[in-house]
Amino acid sequence: MIFGFDTAAARRYAELLGRLFGVESDDVPMPPGFILEVERPEWAFHKRELLWTTGEVNIAASVGNFSRLQIHNPLNSQRLVVVEGFVVANPVLAGLYKVTRDGALAGAPTANLATDTRVPPQAGSRKVGSLNRIDNSLPGVSGEIMSTRQAVAGVDVIFNFRQGPERPIILVPNTVCEIVDATANQTLRALAFGYERPATPDELSQ
């Protein structure tokens, strides 16, 4: 579609440019000064990227255990899931919140929610391929700790990996990351957000 693109290796970008600028000829150059990965969020859909959120999730307190919200890229998804951040809403007590990777898989899965209404509804909701899971049955932090925040009672706790200094967490199929309330016996009210896209075989190979 666009001159200079190998459509097999960069088809997502060729499709994006073709749809945005209405071109179909093989000899049309890409517009000057156009940066493919620093553009408007509504263009993500044309690259087959799906923006998602868990929506607000509530995890009950459990005596002696930590509450957690987990993001899971399921086995055989053939997708990359990018976790861009977490928000803890109005913590009751001061305490530590930790983001971990590769922890123990939590309870029953729920599909994450598309933030783009061009995604067709399924059973009354616009869903993506990535999942969220909740748990309050472990007495400690599971997985490798990637980031920590100290909470102030009544003040939202925000992990925004898009702005740093931490970086987004990229999940290949059958991997997880999570936010954990590292104070036992507390209710956790939180959400996570990010995006996902199809992966090429070389992106998933070691």
Give the pLDDT band of residue 1 (cuts 50, 70, 90): very low
What CATH number is associated with residue 89? 2.60.120
4 falls within a domain = no
One domain for residues 80 and 43: no
pLDDT in tens, 60-81: 999 999 999 999 999 999 999 9
State phi, psi for 64 to the nearest 5 degrees: 80, -5
pLDDT at 6 > cutoff 60: no
One domain for residues 17 and 60: no
One domain for residues 43 and 57: no
3 falls within a domain = no
One domain for residues 41 and 54: no
Residue 29's pLDDT is: 67
One domain for residues 16 and 115: no
120 falls within a domain = yes
C-alpha 129, offset from chain centre:
11
Tell me the average pLDDT of the chain.
89
Number of structural domains, the chain? 2
One domain for residues 86 and 173: yes
One domain for residues 65 and 150: yes
142 falls within a domain = yes
Kindly report the three-state secondary structure assignment for every residue of the chain.
Answer: CCCCCCCCCCHHHHHHHHHHHCCCCCCCCCCCCCCCCCCCHHHHHHHCCEEEECCCEEECCCCCCEEEEEEEECCCCCEEEEEEEEEECCCCCCCEEEEEECCCCCCCCEEEEECCCCCCCECCECEEEEEEEEEEEECCCCCEEEEEEECCCCCCEEEECCCCCCCCEEECCCEEEEEEECCCCCCEEEEEEEEEEECCHHHHCC
One domain for residues 200 and 183: yes
57 falls within a domain = yes
One domain for residues 70 and 118: yes
One domain for residues 116 and 84: yes
Rounded to two decimals, what is the model's pTM? Answer: 0.82
5 falls within a domain = no
The CA distance from 152 to 170, in Å, is: 28
pLDDT in tens, 101-150: 999 999 999 999 999 999 999 888 999 999 999 999 999 999 999 999 99
pLDDT in tens, 169-179: 999 999 999 99
One domain for residues 82 and 143: yes
One domain for residues 92 and 193: yes
Whole domain around residue 17: which residue ranges?
11-47
